[in-house]
Amino acid sequence: MKNTFGQSVAITIYGESHGEAVGVVLDGLAPGIPVDRDYIDERLTLRRPSGRISTARQEQDEYRIVSGVFEGRTTGTPLCIVIPNTQTRSKDYSATRWLARPGHADYTANCKYHGYEDYRGGGHFSGRITAGIVAAGAIALTALHQKGILTATHVLRCGGVADRNFGDLQADMQALQNDPFPVLDAAAKDAMRQKIEAAAEAGDSMGGVLETVVTGVPVGVGEPFFDTVEGLMAHALFGIPAIKGVQFGDGFDMADAMGSAFNDPFRMENGNVTTSTNHNGGINGGITNGMPILFRCMVKPTPSIYKEQQTVDFRTHENADLQIHGRHDPAIIHRAAVVVDSMAALVLCDVLAGRFGTDWFIQ
Amino acid sequence: MKNTFGQSVAITIYGESHGEAVGVVLDGLAPGIPVDRDYIDERLTLRRPSGRISTARQEQDEYRIVSGVFEGRTTGTPLCIVIPNTQTRSKDYSATRWLARPGHADYTANCKYHGYEDYRGGGHFSGRITAGIVAAGAIALTALHQKGILTATHVLRCGGVADRNFGDLQADMQALQNDPFPVLDAAAKDAMRQKIEAAAEAGDSMGGVLETVVTGVPVGVGEPFFDTVEGLMAHALFGIPAIKGVQFGDGFDMADAMGSAFNDPFRMENGNVTTSTNHNGGINGGITNGMPILFRCMVKPTPSIYKEQQTVDFRTHENADLQIHGRHDPAIIHRAAVVVDSMAALVLCDVLAGRFGTDWFIQ
Amino acid sequence: MKNTFGQSVAITIYGESHGEAVGVVLDGLAPGIPVDRDYIDERLTLRRPSGRISTARQEQDEYRIVSGVFEGRTTGTPLCIVIPNTQTRSKDYSATRWLARPGHADYTANCKYHGYEDYRGGGHFSGRITAGIVAAGAIALTALHQKGILTATHVLRCGGVADRNFGDLQADMQALQNDPFPVLDAAAKDAMRQKIEAAAEAGDSMGGVLETVVTGVPVGVGEPFFDTVEGLMAHALFGIPAIKGVQFGDGFDMADAMGSAFNDPFRMENGNVTTSTNHNGGINGGITNGMPILFRCMVKPTPSIYKEQQTVDFRTHENADLQIHGRHDPAIIHRAAVVVDSMAALVLCDVLAGRFGTDWFIQ
Amino acid sequence: MKNTFGQSVAITIYGESHGEAVGVVLDGLAPGIPVDRDYIDERLTLRRPSGRISTARQEQDEYRIVSGVFEGRTTGTPLCIVIPNTQTRSKDYSATRWLARPGHADYTANCKYHGYEDYRGGGHFSGRITAGIVAAGAIALTALHQKGILTATHVLRCGGVADRNFGDLQADMQALQNDPFPVLDAAAKDAMRQKIEAAAEAGDSMGGVLETVVTGVPVGVGEPFFDTVEGLMAHALFGIPAIKGVQFGDGFDMADAMGSAFNDPFRMENGNVTTSTNHNGGINGGITNGMPILFRCMVKPTPSIYKEQQTVDFRTHENADLQIHGRHDPAIIHRAAVVVDSMAALVLCDVLAGRFGTDWFIQ
């Protein structure tokens, strides 16, 4: 399906970094969900670059919803969002047209699309494409919020600095909501920013680890063997440019643990089944167990760096040196937080609608 | 799609641990691929428990291929494999029918299937189901081998012991082929076994990390935005019971690295484009770049342990203590290696057939 | 997806006419549906050849359900049915191995599968494959019956003889339930049989038109633009060998009508919205309107005839004459009725589960 | 998947009749296909209403391609087309907001979308949505033309008047290319127009039968059991509003024929395998046999008529009379011809890319 993901609730992604627009078609979401442009704007703002640690390209993301909304609510038919590109500076790219930028998709796209790809700014492989996911995700989140399902993502690790783990979930999740650099611990936040600024000054870039929590998902959701919550979520998350690792619960961090430590004991609490630990991240056998869903994404350092790099010219097939110009982010991990959050929301709408029917989200 | 995965080449999984049979339908693979029963047996043997570090349940996996093969080769129409269960001892489970085994899918399956699930031995959530994946994977691997594509998986980490990284790929991959406990370094191998045996004696269990390499995949394969090689592979891998994390290339291990360290410089080598490092694991922008594909799976410790555990009775909704009996593995990570390898082969057949057409595999 | 159909409830078909077995995997159907072997047998009997107007090959269809059923009910996990072939006489086919039987898939399969196909008795293209659909369909029908949804199919036309249209639906549908030659009008039934017998004596074959009715489907089901009830149903129905046309409501029969005649006026009746005619076959805009769903399938005459036919040898690429031997049906339209009915049931389970969630069928 | 169709080459449809825009995302088509705006315009013109036999609403279809095209050719990444609605007159609809128009989707959509649907002009169920299919279809046709695959559709029957069958295919197909009322026989064409005009004067409407031919499709394409060329084509065609029947080859018209008449004898002709008749419409066993693909669609009479009709008010649940105003077509069958043609082209691109790989279309 390539650029479409989801069965009951699906999104279709389109656009290139320096083309006319990027956008998304959101299909299958229940009718009657309020489409709140202020909230969509708020979410798009979190993705938008700002300050010294981001690219100087400033897109206002003045999107248009051209279908699927009537009298302020979703109709239940496809909702198409068009986000025009306005701040393109394509000449930044023509000089290096045939030089594969290391870590980018230039070379692989050239092999796959035989030179017909729009190479400017990474074309369809640009992080710019994620604006559509954030816009559609905001509507998905509205649907989830109505059902008591909440999400939050923080930068768990960046430049060797670790944020603290989630503590009081309600307070922590609230604190992260509108933070353009979402870190729980204030000192860690400052230290991370400094690391990124130092990297920027050195013409280099940083990556890190994001951690996401989702609360309120009912027990019994997920469709093993293959359409586990983990599998569907990971499939979608790996579409986000720069994500190279996904783990649920403690994942790799407890690779050395024994079963007696990793198993989450079940306990009754206020009449509900719960687990006293959550190493499995709220999922057993690919199905939600009612505990918070927890997962982490490794975001690789932005491949666009200003240091000179070795590469090849894929037209002449000769070694070459590459000096990137243009406007680039020394880190996108903080901007990626809202993208991960949005993608998670879309995947959850899909599995919930598949499990409980399309009308489940209707209030 | 639940129990079916793949678009051009797809598998459908069925069966329960203590039902009549487990198995798989493999659909869409090219006609004319040799079906070598010796090779399938060899692969199934790698998955089969053996020795002190495995369950005492000994299934002979005397499978039948009931369709899709004619005169020793695939017909191109669906190939159904039936693997009877013969060594079932269901009474081991009746006593703990309503006690959720921590770390298992008992509770979540009960919520999802409303008590109609076959609870014996984990039912459809048992690792036993992966026998079908190994059998189908063997045929997929035959198709890949004919095209020069090879796979290998080793236990990178177990019980705090680390194997060495891949060195001379050709030799290392060869060495791993028929090893039921695939570790590159002999001392690490011994140490891992000892860790598992110690865990077994303590009534506990171990997990770890598997690392897989695939060589020979052509450049330009993968279908972003969503059907990246990473996304498809992770989706399928997370279906394997016990896998809680998937990363490509260095993934989480280089979360603190800068772009200048993570970017893989392109270089010409014998007339071919290559990269001088492979931190991205052979994939840029979700598309293969011609370098070896490298990924790691975190396998959680086997949840079946003999130590007493806290749990709930999900019929009475009261706290309870659980003492598991029956036959269980203190570790399945070494047996999981062949499953991961097989799943990777099936996913690759799918993306390659989608990219180059169904006839690409015909010799 | 080739041999898998359905999203929420899916079937995967496998098998060849003269291989070891044919069968089906049914996935996604709700847990707790009773699996009534007597009813499955009854349905398989309707598909089985009998009497002078059918092939002499007598398969007993002693199927095994090897997964997905526990204590007599569906578990909600994949249900695999294996139906062994026992009465194969492959030598009937070796003499004409390379002669394309007109109207059959021999030539096209040979082109597609490059000679690796199992050619005996049509291989995977045999009507024998539909046994699995009938078995799975019986379980789907049980689920539908519990929700008050009923189906019936009659031979509307055969050999120039027309059956009467449906009248008193309840009585008519009841009358058709266990009729191996389902025709409403007794005289038409006799006349059709005579036509088929005459064709058989002439070494020729007959086809015809089947008409199916489904009652009790709730209003508001179907997923336009593409996943209309008509589109999904037709997609599945065209998989049944020999079906060359599908129409809903009056379809082609009212191609010359004006809008004022074709539009079905809405009327209130006992507090319910209904239509006073049903030219649209219970579907408006691809969505059910609560009226009976009505559709017709054109079944082409069985291509296996005993008359000498012109053909080509697709190995030597020369013209040839073909004299078919073996055991063949002079008509399969009456046996196809239960197949159409079963396929319709499976498609409806899929769209209903997608619309109302997987638990909708649980009593 | 609702509004997305296709696996290798897919389209996603969006838009409402009186919303901001309608459009389509075309995904998976090969890179390098010329995007010829003149040709797209030409095709859109064929769909556009004109003259006395069409609605007075005149949309200029000044579409924008906002992604997926670079330097005049497809990039291989999703191509999004936005076609603004400019001539909307929504007040025509507010008076009859709650009156279900017979034959339309008003009532069923209201049940499905719970009143949140955009009811104006049929909303997402309007024929207006097909503009996107024609635009995307024009690009698909360009890809097919490069490979020697041609399509043509004529009005075979309308108002009791029959066109002649195809004769000299090359000449007939050429003659139909730019005809806004595509009929082969000039006298039949005049008679059909007169029938439509008479219907218009009577405040009524006409439907009919379209016949489509496709030449040049290679032998061996189609993916039985389910993804037959017939099944995929019918699935997509039934999405087109007003289509209520689809048949391949002679379909229902030869329901009374014997096998000896319906079977198409194979013959060698100039070194190629061919059939001396084509009752099966170029498809055997769901797979192309190299002969022209032939199919027919029944297009029901336009449900919007000016005669008073009986209906219900689905808010008050009372019987009511309905007098439709607004701008409507007395027939859309001639405008539907280009839509059917376009949809067929899209489906063929999908099956061909699935069979031969995505690069097959690259010149």
Give the domains, in start order, of chain B with CATH numbers.
4-361 (3.60.150.10)
Q: What is the DSSP string of A261-329?
A: HHS--EEEETTEEEES--TTTTEETTEE-SSPEEEEEEEPPPS--SS-EEEEETTTTEEEEE---S---
The confidence score (pLDDT) of residue C74 equals 98
| Nearest-angstrom CA–CA distance, B295 and B292 | 10
Kindly identify which residue of chain B lies nearest to residue A296, measuring between CA atoms.
Answer: B245
How near does any CA of chain C get to the CA of D66, in Å? 22
Cβ neighbours of residue B310 under 8 Å, at least 6 residues apart? A265, A266, A267, A276, B102, B319, B320, B321, B322
Q: Does B266 touch chain C (CB under 8 A)?
A: no
The stretch D99-117 carries a mean pLDDT of 96
Per-residue pLDDT at C231 exceeds 90: yes
The stretch A312-331 carries a mean pLDDT of 90
Q: Does D216 touch chain C (CB under 8 A)?
A: no
Residues of B within 8 A of A285 (CB-CB) are 104-105, 108-109, 122, 125, 241
The confidence score (pLDDT) of residue B260 equals 97
For residue D328, what pLDDT band results from cuts at 50, 70 and 90? Answer: confident
The confidence score (pLDDT) of residue A295 equals 98
pLDDT tens profile D28-59: 999 999 999 999 999 999 999 877 777 777 77
Residues of C within 8 A of B349 (CB-CB) are none
Kindly identify which residue of chain A lies nearest to residue D362, measuring between CA atoms.
Answer: A114
Q: Does D71 touch chain C (CB under 8 A)?
A: no
**Subunit contact B75:C16, Cβ cutoff 8 A:** yes
The Cα angle at residue A240 between residues A239 and A243, in degrees rounded to 5: 100
Q: Does B354 touch chain D (CB under 8 A)?
A: yes
pLDDT tens profile D199-253: 999 999 999 999 999 999 999 999 999 999 999 999 999 999 999 999 999 999 9
Residues of D within 8 A of B357 (CB-CB) are 354-357, 360
Residues of D within 8 A of A12 (CB-CB) are 4, 12, 25, 27, 78
Query: Chains with ≥3 Cβ pairs under 8 A against C?
Result: A, B, D
How near does any CA of chain B get to the CA of C270, in Å? 37
**Subunit contact C226:D239, Cβ cutoff 8 A:** yes
Q: Does C360 touch chain A (CB under 8 A)?
A: yes
Structure-model confidence comparison of residues D171 and A61, the more confident one: D171
Query: What is the overall mean pLDDT for chain D?
Result: 95
Q: Does B357 touch chain D (CB under 8 A)?
A: yes
How near does any CA of chain B get to the CA of D266, in Å? 24
The stretch A174-185 carries a mean pLDDT of 97
| Nearest-angstrom CA–CA distance, A55 and A334 | 13
The confidence score (pLDDT) of residue D288 equals 98
| Nearest-angstrom CA–CA distance, A256 and B207 | 7
CB pairs under 8 A between B and C: 176
pLDDT tens profile B280-307: 999 999 999 999 999 999 999 999 999 9
The confidence score (pLDDT) of residue A256 equals 97
The stretch D91-110 carries a mean pLDDT of 89
**Subunit contact D103:C264, Cβ cutoff 8 A:** yes
Picking from B28, B355, B358, the nearest residue to D358 by CB comes out as B355
C34-41: long-range pairs with CB below 8 Å, 24+: C34/C72, C34/C73, C34/C142, C35/C65, C35/C69, C35/C72, C35/C73, C35/C74, C35/C79, C35/C139, C35/C142, C36/C138, C36/C142, C39/C138, C39/C141, C39/C142, C40/C135, C40/C138, C40/C139
Chain C 12-31, CB below 8 Å of chain A: which residues?
Answer: 28
Spans of chain B below 70 pLDDT: 90
Q: Which of B70, B94, B110, B119 to mutate to test the interface with C (most CBs of C within 10 A)?
A: B70
Q: Does B106 touch chain C (CB under 8 A)?
A: no
pLDDT tens profile D282-327: 999 999 999 999 999 999 999 999 999 999 998 899 999 999 887 7
Q: Does D277 touch chain A (CB under 8 A)?
A: no
The confidence score (pLDDT) of residue D324 equals 86
The confidence score (pLDDT) of residue C159 equals 96
The confidence score (pLDDT) of residue A257 equals 97
How near does any CA of chain B get to the CA of C77, in Å? 7
Kindly identify which residue of chain C lies nearest to residue D343, measuring between CA atoms.
Answer: C226
Among residues D86, A268, D100, A343, the alpha carbon closest in space to that of B313 is found at A268
Residues of A within 8 A of C362 (CB-CB) are none
For residue A61, what pLDDT band results from cuts at 50, 70 and 90? Answer: confident
| Nearest-angstrom CA–CA distance, C310 and C209 | 27
Residues of D within 8 A of C119 (CB-CB) are none
**Subunit contact D266:C239, Cβ cutoff 8 A:** no
Residues of C within 8 A of D285 (CB-CB) are 104-105, 108-109, 122, 125, 241
ipTM of the complex: 0.97
For residue C49, what pLDDT band results from cuts at 50, 70 and 90? Answer: confident
**Contact predicate C289/C282, CB 8 Å:** yes
3-class state of residue B95 by DSSP: coil
- From C79-93, D123-137, D164-178, D277-291, the region with the lowest mean pLDDT: C79-93
The confidence score (pLDDT) of residue B328 equals 81
Picking from D104, D199, D288, the nearest residue to C285 by CB comes out as D104
The confidence score (pLDDT) of residue B53 equals 76
**Contact predicate B155/B43, CB 8 Å:** no
The confidence score (pLDDT) of residue B57 equals 74
Q: Does C80 touch chain B (CB under 8 A)?
A: yes
Among residues C235, C4, C31, the alpha carbon closest in space to that of C132 is found at C4
Q: Exposed/middle/buried for D186, CB within 10 Å: 0-12, 13-18, 19+?
A: exposed
The stretch D87-93 carries a mean pLDDT of 74
Query: What is the overall mean pLDDT for chain A?
Result: 95
pLDDT tens profile C287-309: 999 999 999 999 999 999 999 99
Q: Does A355 touch chain C (CB under 8 A)?
A: yes
3-class state of residue D34 by DSSP: strand
Per-residue pLDDT at C1 exceeds 80: no
**Subunit contact D302:C273, Cβ cutoff 8 A:** no
Among residues D28, D26, D11, D14, the alpha carbon closest in space to that of D66 is found at D26
pLDDT tens profile A117-146: 999 989 999 999 999 999 999 999 999 999
Residues of D within 8 A of A78 (CB-CB) are 2-3, 12-15, 124
How near does any CA of chain A get to the CA of B332, in Å? 12
Q: Which of B4, B12, B221, B223 to mutate to test the interface with D (most CBs of D within 10 A)?
A: B223
Picking from C7, C359, C360, the nearest residue to A7 by CB comes out as C7
Q: Does C317 touch chain B (CB under 8 A)?
A: no
**Subunit contact B2:A259, Cβ cutoff 8 A:** no
Q: Does C8 touch chain A (CB under 8 A)?
A: yes
| Nearest-angstrom CA–CA distance, A183 and D283 | 61
Per-residue pLDDT at D6 exceeds 90: yes
As given in the structure block, the two tokens for residue B1 are 């799609």
Picking from D108, D243, D247, the nearest residue to C288 by CB comes out as D108
| Residues paired with A22 in a beta bridge | A15, A83
The confidence score (pLDDT) of residue B269 equals 94
Q: Which of D258, D279, D328 to mutate to test the interface with C (most CBs of C within 10 A)?
A: D258
As given in the structure block, the two tokens for residue C161 are 């003889």
| Nearest-angstrom CA–CA distance, D217 and D53 | 35
